[in-house]
Structures are given as structure tokens and as C-alpha cells.
């Protein structure tokens, strides 16, 4: 999965004129998510508050600077696409970069809060909370 800035994603999503085209793009992004092996689909790794089952883990990669790599999966194809958006924004970043990101408005700015994706807003925000919490666990004070 490629990394992207919010501006790059906004540019990508601006190519689509209507919500059905955006939904199709989200589904295509979901096809790029590698998923998780069954042993990581545990209650400990589950994102609570989502309509679908979502699991998310972070791996700390030491280096200069150290980064976090996120992996996630869902039993919903649409949610896998939303996972892809968050992985593009957050995976491969430092815990400090993730902590500094304002992800709360991403759903609206990408125009995902329209149509059939609107019902996924709460789950999207729960995934953001999990990403922030996992990053916070790796911030060295």
C-alpha cells in the first residue's frame, strides 16, 4: 500500500464527480489491503464501535527515524477501502507525525460523508482513535 498525504488523497478524490465514483474508488483501494492472518483477528486487535468487524495492529520499525507500520482487515469490502485510506495516511510515519495529524476531518474532506459511506463515519472515527492510541503507545517521552 502506498503512502500518501492528505493533499494527495484530496487530489485523487477530486477526480470523481459523484458519490458512486468515490465509492468505486474506495472499493478499489480496499482491494489493495493485504489483510491480516487469522491469528491477529483477535478481540485484543478489534476496533470497537464499527458496524463491521475491523482488526488493526501496528508494528514498530526501529530506524532513523523509527516508524509505525499499520496492518488492518475487515469483513466488509467497503470498510477495507476506508482502512486503505487510513493506512495510506498513517502507515510508515513516526508516532509523533501520527500524533500531530488532524485526521478527524478526513472523512468529510474526502467527501465520504455522502450516500452509502455516511453510515461508516463512526467506524472510520473509531479506527482513527485506535491508530492514535497505538501511536501514543510508541511515543517516547
Is 128 part of a structural domain of the chain?
Answer: yes
Residue range 39-57, pLDDT digits in tens: 999 999 999 988 899 999 9
Lowest-confidence segment of 6-10, 23-27, 105-109 by average pLDDT? 105-109
CATH number at residue 85: 3.90.1010.10
> ∠ CA(25), CA(9), CA(98), 5° rounding?
120
Residue 53 falls inside a structural domain: yes
DSSP letter string, 81-96:
HHHHHHHHHHTTB-HH
In the structure grid, which three cell numbers stand for residue 123, read together? 467506524
Q: Answer whether 20's CB lies under 8 Å from 30's CB.
A: no
In the chain, how many domains are there?
1
Crossing angle of helices 6-13 and 77-90, in 10° steps, is 140
pLDDT single digits (tens) 54-74: 999 999 998 888 899 999 999
Residue 76 lies in a domain: yes
In a domain, 1, yes or no: no
Domain holding 58, by residue range, is 6-137
Give me the active site residues, please. 50
pTM for the full predicted model: 0.90
CA quadruple 134, 62, 6, 17: dihedral positive or negative? negative
Q: Is residue 102 situated within a structural domain? A: yes
Task: With respect to residue 86, please indicate whether it lies within any of the assigned structural domains.
Answer: yes
Residue 103 near residue 133 (C-beta atoms within 8 A): no
> pLDDT band for position 141 (50/70/90)?
very low
Instruction: Quote the pLDDT of residue 140.
Output: 58
Averaged over 3-28, what is the pLDDT?
92
Residue 9, pLDDT above cutoff 50: yes
Asked if pLDDT for residue 18 goes beyond 90, the answer is no
Mean pLDDT, the chain, rounded, equals 90
Amino acid at each position: 500500500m502506498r503512502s500518501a498525504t492528505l493533499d494527495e488523497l484530496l487530489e485523487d478524490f477530486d477526480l470523481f464527480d459523484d458519490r458512486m465514483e468515490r465509492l468505486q474508488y474506495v472499493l478499489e483501494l480496499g482491494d489493495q489491503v493485504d489483510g491480516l492472518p487469522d491469528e491477529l483477528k483477535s478481540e485484543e486487535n478489534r476496533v470497537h464501535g464499527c458496524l463491521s468487524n475491523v482488526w488493526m495492529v501496528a508494528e514498530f520499525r526501529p530506524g532513523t527515524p523509527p516508524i509505525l507500520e499499520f496492518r488492518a482487515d475487515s469483513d466488509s469490502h467497503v470498510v477495507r477501502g476506508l482502512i486503505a485510506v487510513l493506512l495510506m495516511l498513517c502507515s510508515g510515519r513516526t508516532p509523533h507525525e501520527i500524533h500531530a495529524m488532524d485526521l478527524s476531518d478526513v472523512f468529510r474532506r474526502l467527501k465520504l460523508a455522502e450516500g452509502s459511506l455516511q453510515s461508516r463515519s463512526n467506524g472510520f472515527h473509531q479506527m482513527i482513535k485506535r491508530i492514535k492510541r497505538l501511536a501514543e503507545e510508541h511515543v517516547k517521552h
